[in-house]
Amino acid sequence: MRRVSTRGAAPAPIGLPVPRRDGVAKVTGRGRFTVDIGMPGLAHAKLLRSPYPHAVIRSIDTAAARRHPGVVAVVTADDLPDVRLVYGHAVADHPMIATGKVRFAGEPVVGVVAEDAVTAEEALRLVSVEYEPLPFVTAPDAALADGAPIIHEQPGEQRAHRGFAEDIARTHPNVCSESRQSWGEIELAFGDAHLVVEGEYRYPRSYAYAMEPYTALARWDEGELTVWTSGQHPYMVREDLAQCFDLPLAAVRVIVPYVGGGYGSKSYTKIEPLTAALALRAGRPVRLGLTIEESILTTRGDAAIVRLRSAFDRDGLILGRQATILLDTGGYAENSPLVGRKAANRLGGPYRIPALDVLCSTVYTNTAPASSFRGFGAPQVTLAGESQMDEAAELLGIDPLEIRRRNLLRPGERPWPNVRGIDADLVADLDLAAEELGWTTPLPTGHGRAICLSASDAGSEPMTTSLVRVHPDGSLTVSCGSTEMGQGSSTVLAQMAAGEMGIELERVHLLQSDTAAVSYDRSTGASRTTTLMGLAIAAAARDARAQLVQWAQESLAPDGPTVIEERSGVRIGDASHDWGDVVRSWFGGHAGECVGRGYIRRSGTTEEMPPFWEIGCVGVEVSVDESTGVIRVEKLVTIGDVGCAINPQLVEGQDIGAAMMGLGMATREELVYEDGNLMNGNLFDYRVPRTTDLPEIRSVIVERGDGVGLYGAKGGGEGSLNPVAAAIANAVWRAAGIRLREAPFSPERVWNALRERDAAARS
Amino acid sequence: MPETMDLSLTVNSRERALRIEARETLGDVLRDRLGLTGTKISCDAQVCGACTVLVDDLAVSACTFLAADAESRSVRTVEGLAPNGVLSPVQQAFIDHAGFQCGFCTPGMLMATTALLEENPAPSRDEVIHALEGNLCRCTGYAQIIDAVLAAARGAISPDAVPDAVPDAGLDTAPTAEATR
Amino acid sequence: MIPRFSLLRPRSLDEGFAAFVAAAGEGAWIAGGTELLQVMKMGLAQFATLIDVKAIPELHGIAIDDEGGLVIGAGTTHRLVERSAIVRAALPGLATLAARIANVRVRNTGTLGGNLAFAEPHSDPATFLLACGAAVRLVGPGGARDLPIGDFVLGPLFTAREADELLVSVRIPAAGPAVGRAYAKLAFFERPAASVAVRLAIRDGHVAEATVVAGSLSEVPTVVEEAGRALDGSEATGAGLTSRLGAAAEAFGALDVVPDLNGSADYKRHLAGVLLHRAAQQALVEAHARA
C-alpha cells in the first residue's frame, strides 16, 4: 500500500491502521451473525417456490402438509388477510408471498413452519399448487416489444411508491420507472461534433454473493415485533414492517448482528415481512434461513443495455453524451428505480460534458428481482462511457490518458448545475495510476493496459443521528444505526469517536444496529457511513464536550477561573480533569452520564447534494490467451481517493475487494436464463473470483482532505469496482485489437471476437 | 433401520457422545447440537469452503460431510484454534493483515490455512494460492488473506504499538496523523 | 438440506449385499458422498437407506498386480491417489489429475470409485482412464465382472452397474516402454469446460497406438478414433507433429457436443483441439522418458 497525503493533521487514532475491533470475534468464531441466533421455542420455516416464470395460481392444496407431524403452520397469501402483503422501497409492487400469480421462477408461494427445517421441507413436498402458465419474457428489450406478456397488470400510476412519482413509468406496462438526466443543448452538441462514437454495451445480471444467505428471525410479544435480520438497513426494514403489520414504528424492533457480506444486496427489505407473517400465524418465534440458491432468487444486480453516443471535437473534448439505458429489474421493482436514477446521473462520469441527455428505463421481466448492488448503476454505465473514451482516443489519434486529462472535471467544478462540485483531483489520480501501472514501460506481446475512471453521486441522503454517552469512568458508549457488514464501520467509527473525545480507542464501545437501542440512521450503503455517521459522531462528541465544559464550570469552578477545554478533558488552573471526573463532579457522586447528540441532515456542509463524489480510478494490465479466449488481469492498480483514510488498512481492503468483485463481473459472472429458468443459480455454476484470479496488486490511498466528512474524509468501497470492466475492455483492445462491449468477457465471447478480427483481416 | 444413531467423537480435544439423525451433517451437529456456530454454512455445495473443518487433520466441507463419518475421529473447528484464549499465529496474522472483512468465510479460511501450514509449514505464494483456491472470500479480494497466510508461515508478528506502524504505512509525505497523547 | 435416511455400515461385501437387500429397493451405496449427498440435497434423488461402503476392505488399497497392472480400490480418496508413490510411479498423470480435482476438501473425502460410478459427463478420471484402457471391477451378490470404462459409463449419470452391484476397484493395465499417457483440461467453472486425454507410444521416432479421448464435450467421455488414427505414424516432434495434431483436432468436429455454460459446441470443440496439443505434448514427454 502506498499513501499519498496532503491533508491536514487529525488526532490519533484517526488515520492509523488500528486492528479491526471485530477481529478477535471473527477469528475465533465467536462473532454472531443472524444465522447463529437461536431462542427458546424457535420454529423453522421453508418456502415453496414457483417452478414457472409467469403463471396464475389456480389453487393451492395444503391439507396434507398441515397434517404432517411436526408442522406448526402452513401459510399462503389467503392466510394473511390481516397483513398488508405488498411492500417495496421505490415502488410498492412486491407481495411478500405470491398473491394470485407468480412473476418469476422461484417466487415464494407457500410458507411452512415446523419444529425443524427438515420437517418443514418434508411438508413442502406435500403441498400441491395448480398453476396456469402464462407467456413469459426474460429480457428487457423483448419485454418492450409489441405483444410482450404484461407482467404487472396494475397501471404504473396506480402503484404506490415512496418519492418516485416522477419516475413511475407510463409509456409501457412493462416499464417500471423512467429517469431522465439532461442538461445543455444536446442537438447542438452533436451538430457541432467532429467525431461521434456510438455503441451498445451490455452488463450482465449479477449476483452479489454475500456469503451469509438472507436470514431473518421474528418474534411477537404482546403486539410488539422483534426481527433479527441479515439486512443492511435496520431502520428501513422497520418502516416496511410497521406498514405491513400496521404498527407504530416504536413497536417494531429490528436488530442486525454482524452481517456476512452485503455489497448492497442486503439493503432494503427482503424476507423480513414474510418471516414476521409466518411467526404471526405460527404463534411462535420463527426463523427463515434461505439457502444460497434461494438468496440468488431473492435479489440480484441489474443487467443493463446501454446505448450511448458521444460527441467529440477534434481535440478530443467531449461535446455531449446521449444515451438510453434499459435496466432489467426482474419481476419486481425492489430498488431498481433508484438504481435507474443513479445510472442516469452517473453516465456522465468524471467528465466535463456540456450537453447530456440520458433516459434510463427499468423494465420488468420474468426473472428474479434486481436491486441495489455495489456501484449502483455506475459499473453498467461506466463500461459504456469509458469504452467510448478509448474508442475516441484511438480515432482521434490522442493518447487515452491525454484525452481523459483534457476532459476530467477540475476540483470544485460542478458536473451539472445545482450539484456539489467535484471534491477530488481526478487528473492527479489518473497520473498516479499511470505511474503505478508503469504506463510507459514496454509490454509483452498479448498484453495491454488501460486506466479508467468513474465519479458517482454517492452518500445517499444525510439523515443520520448518533448518541455519544460519556460514562463516569470516562469511557464512551457510541450509539449508531450503522451496520457492521465487513466494511469496518465498527472500527472506523470508534476511531473517530476516540479521536474526537481525545480518549483511548479501548475506552470506546460501539452499539450498532438495533432500532430499539440506537438512534436513527437512514442506511448503511452508498459508501456513506464513514462520512455521514462520522460527522454525526463528531457532532455528538462536540455536543457532549460543550456540555462537559459547562458542567465543569458549574461543578468544579463555580466561582473560579474559566475552564479551559483540552483534548481529553478540561483544565482549571493547573489541574486537569478528564471527562469522567467532570461527569462525577456534576452529578455529585460516583455515577451519572453525559449524553451528546449528533444530527446530520441537509444543512450546512451537508446541504449540497450529493454529500460527496465517490471516485473510481483503476488501472489494469491484461493478457489475452488467443488460443482459448481466456483473459487474465495480470496487474491491478487501485486509487483510493478518500480524502482522509480513517483507517488505511481498511481502505486498502475495500479497494482491492471492490476491484476484484468488478473483475469477477467483467470476466465470468453472469446469471443465465433459459426458457424462463435460471441455469446457474448456485455457487457451483456461478463463479466468483478465487485466489488464482488475483493479479499483482498496487493499492494507492490518496488523502487530500477534500471530502465533506471528518478531516476531509469521503466515502470509498464502491469506486474501485465501477471502472474495472471498462478498464479490462480497453486493455483487451490494446492487447488484441478486439472491442468487447458485452460483459462478462467470457472466454467464448473473446474467442468469437478474435475470430471476427481475423476474418476481417483476411477479407 | 436406524434413522438415528449414537455418535462418539472428539471435538476440539473434548470427547463428545450424542444421539443424532443419520441425515445430519457434521455442520448440523457442530452448529445445532454442540453450539459451535463458528463453522459457517454458505454455498452448501462444497465450493465455498466457509464450512471447512479438520477431521483427523484433513480439511473437509462440514456442509456435506456426514456426522456419522466422524465417528471415533478427531474434529477441529475454529473454536479450537485458541485453546487457552491465546490466538494461534494464523488467527493473529489474519487480524494483523486484515485478512477478513465480514468474517463469514474466515473460520473456513483459518481452518484451511491451519491444515496447509501443518502439512507445509513454509509454503510458497503459489502453494498458498493453490491450497486456498477452494475457499471463497467475497470481501477482501484475497490479497490481504494471502499476505496473512504467508506472514503466519513466517511466524511474523506485527508491530503491536500501532502508532509506531505509521511511518511504515507507506506515506509519501510526512505523516499527517499526529500522535497527540 | 439432506432428507432423512437410514445409514447402514457393512464391514464386508457380504454384509453390504445383505444390507442392500434389506433396503428393499430404496438403498444406495455411499462412499465419500461428495456427489450423492449433493444430489439428495437438491432433491434430485432420495433414498430411504444409504449403505456406507467405506469400511469394506476390498474397496481399499493401491497395488501393482501380477501383470503389472495398477489396481486402485474404489474407496480410495483422490488425495490418496494424489499422494500414492505407487500411482506416481506407475501412472503419474493420474496423480497430477487427482491433485486438480475440485478442491482440497473434495479430494480429502471424494473417492475414485464414487467419481466413476456417478458418471458425471465432466469427470476427469473417467476421461483419462478411458484413454488408459482401464477397467472397473463390479461385484454383486452373483459374483464379479470386469468392464472396460467405455462399457461401464453409458450416459450422463448412467452406468452399466446393476443397482445391487458395487464398484470395488479400478485396474489400469501396465504401459509398455515408450508409452505416454496425459490429461489436459480447461475449467472456467467448477467442472471442466473441456478435457482431452491422450495415450500414445513412440516407435522409431513416430507416434503409434494413439488413443484420444474427449471429456466434458459429449454426454460421456468419448474415444475419438479418427483423432487417434490421425496421430498414428506422425513424427514425434516438429512441424510434422503440429500438422498431424491439427488434423487430429479436426476429428472433434464429428463429435456430438453438448453446449453448456462454458460455451457453444463449436467453441468447446475448439478448446478440445487446444487441449489435444497440450495433452499430446505431455504424453510425448512421458513416452520419451519411458523409452
- Give the pLDDT confidence of A229-246 residue by residue, as tens digits: 999 999 999 999 999 999
- Residue of A628, A688, A754, A756 to mutate when probing chain C, most C C-beta within 10 A: A628
Between chains, do A122 and C3 touch, taking CB under 8 Å as contact? yes
Taking 70 as the pLDDT cut, the residues of chain B under it are 1-2, 156-181
Cβ pair A97, A274 in contact under 8 A: yes
Q: Which three cell numbers stand for residue A203?
A: 452488463
Query: HSE on the CB side for A99, CA within 13 Å?
Result: 17
Beta strand segments in A696-749, E: 696-703
8 Å CB contact of C189 and A684: yes
Residue A476 grid cell: 464512551
Which among B38, B50, B143 has CB closest to A656?
B143
Size of interface B-C (CB pairs under 8 A): 76
pLDDT at A155: 77
pLDDT tens, position by position, A660-673: 999 999 999 999 99
pTM score over 0.90: yes
| DSSP secondary structure of A598-632 | EEE-SSGGG-SSSSEEEEEEEEEEEEEETTTTEEE
The C-side interface with B (CB below 8 A) comprises: 2-9, 22-23, 33-34, 37-38, 41, 48-50, 52, 54, 79, 102-106, 108-109, 190
**Does A29 contact B79 at a Cβ distance shorter than 8 Å?**
yes
Contacts of A512 (CB under 8 A, 6+ apart): A256, A479, A480, A481, A482, A483, A484, A489, A490, A518
Chain B residues close to C104, C-beta within 8 Å? 59, 112, 115, 131, 134
Measure the CA–CA gap between C124 and C98, rounded to whole angstroms: 8
Please report the DSSP string for A162-209 in residue order. SS-TTTB--S-TTEEEEEEEEES-HHHHHHT-SEEEEEEEEE--B---
Q: Is C193 exposed, middle or buried (0-12, 13-18, 19+ CB in 10 A)?
A: buried
- In chain A, residues with a C-beta closer than 8 Å to the C-beta of B37 are 29, 32, 35-36
Q: Report the residue count for chain B.
A: 181
| pLDDT of A481 strictly over 80 | yes
Task: Tell me the Ramachandran region of residue B91: left when phi exceeds 0, alpha when psi lies from -120 to 50, beta otherwise.
Answer: alpha
Q: How far is CA A262 from CA A12, A234, A611, B71, in A?
A: 29, 13, 22, 37
What dihedral do alpha carbons A601, A603, A605, A606 form, nearest 10°? 40
- What is the predicted pLDDT for the residue at A163? 79
Contacts of A649 in chain B (CB under 8 A): 98
Check residue B2 and give its pLDDT: 60
- On average, the pLDDT of chain A sits at 97
C272 Cβ contact partners less than 8 Å away, ≥ 6 residues apart = C194, C195, C196, C214, C217, C249, C252, C255
pLDDT of residue B156: 53
pLDDT in tens, A355-373: 999 999 999 999 999 999 9
Q: Are the C-beta atoms of residues A752 and A760 closer than 8 Å to each other?
A: no
**Residue C291 β-bridge partners:** none
* Residue stretches of chain C with pLDDT short of 70: none
Q: C47 to chain B: nearest residue by CA?
A: B23
CB of B100 within 8 Å of a chain A CB? The answer is yes
| Other C-beta atoms lying within 10 Å of the C-beta of residue A251 | 18
Whether B82 has its CB under 8 Å from any CB of chain A: the answer is yes
List CB contacts of A431: < 8 A, sequence separation 6 or more: none
The residue written with cell numbers 486493455 in the block is A731
**Contact criterion met (CB < 8 Å) for B134 and C49:** no
Interface test with A, best of C261, C275, C277 (most A CBs within 10 A): C261
Summarize pLDDT for A565-609 with one digit per residue, the tens: 999 999 999 999 999 999 999 999 999 999 999 999 999 999 999
Residue A576 backbone phi and psi in degrees, to 5:
-100, 140
Pick the closest to residue B126 from C27, A692, A702, C72 (CA basis): A692
At A166 the pLDDT is 81
Q: Residue C211 contacts by C-beta under 8 Å, 6 or more apart in sequence?
A: C131, C133, C197, C198, C199, C200, C223, C228
Distance, CA of A619 to CA of A436 (rounded, Å): 8
The per-residue pLDDT for range A186-206, each reduced to its tens digit, is 999 999 999 999 999 999 999
pLDDT of residue B181: 32
**For C188, which of A121, A668, A679 is closest by C-beta distance?**
A668
- pLDDT, tens digit, 9 for 90 and up, residues C113-155: 999 999 999 999 999 999 999 999 999 999 999 999 999 999 9
Stretch (H or E) spanning A403 = helix A400-407
Q: Give the length of chain C.
A: 291
Tell me what the mean pLDDT of segment A260-278 comes to: 97
pLDDT at B3: 87
pLDDT, tens digit (0-9, with 9 covering 90-100), for A485-520:
999 999 999 999 999 999 999 999 999 999 999 999
ipTM: 0.97
In this prediction, what percent of chain A has a pLDDT beyond 90?
96
Looking up cell 470506546 gives: A508
DSSP label at residue A154:
S
Q: Among the listed ranges A149-158, A261-270, B157-166, which one has the minimum average pLDDT value?
A: B157-166
Report the alpha-carbon distance of residue A74 to residue A59 in Å, rounded.
Answer: 15
**CA–CA separation, A358 vs A356, rounded Å?**
7
**CB burial readout B90-100, b (16+ within 10 A) else e:** bbbbbbbbbbb
pLDDT at residue A159 in the model: 74
Q: How far is CA B25 from the centre of its chain?
A: 19
Phi, then psi, of A167 in degrees rounded to 5: -95, -20
pLDDT of the residue at B161: 36
Has residue A165 got a pLDDT over 90?
A: no
Three-class secondary structure assignment of chain C? CCCCCEEECCCCHHHHHHHHHHCCCCEEEECCCCCHHHHHHCCCCCCCEEEECCCCHHHCCEEECCCCCEEEECCCEHHHHHHCHHHHHHCHHHHHHHCCCCCHHHHHHCEHHHHHHHCCCCCHHHHHHHHCCCEEEEEECCEEEEEEHHHHEEECCEECCCCCCEEEEEEECCCCCCEEEEEEEECCCCCCCEEEEEEEEEECCEEEEEEEEEECCCCCCEECHHHHHHHCCCECCHHHHHHHHHHHHHHHHHCCCCCECCECHHHHHHHHHHHHHHHHHHHHHHHHHCC
| Nearest-Cα residue of chain B relative to residue A683 | B43
